[in-house]
Amino acid sequence: MFPFVFEWVWDMSHMVFMGGLWYALTIMGLGLTYCIIKALIDTRQKKGGTHGGH
C-alpha cells in the first residue's frame, strides 16, 4: 500500500493499481474538505442557502 512496505515494487502494476487507489482517495478527501471548509465559510457569512433541485 505504501512504498515503505516490504512488498512494494516500483513496477507498472503497483503504479497503476495504487495510482488508481490514491487518485480516488484524493478526490474523495479533497471533495469532502472543500465541502466542510465552504460550509464553515457559509455559516460564518450567515448565508440562507437552499437545497435547489435535490
Query: Could you tell me the smallest distance in angstroms from the CB atom of residue 1 to other proteins?
Result: 5
Least CB distance from residue 2 to other proteins, whole Å? 8
Q: How far apart are CA 3 and CA 33, in angstroms?
A: 25
Q: Are 8 and 2 in contact (CB under 8 A)?
A: yes
Asked whether the CA dihedral 15, 18, 21, 27 is positive or negative, the reply is negative
Does residue 53 bind other proteins (CB under 8 A)? Answer: yes
46 binds other proteins (CB under 8 A): yes
> Mask 2-31, x = binds other proteins (CB under 8 A)?
---xxx-x-x-xx--xx-xx--xx-xx--x
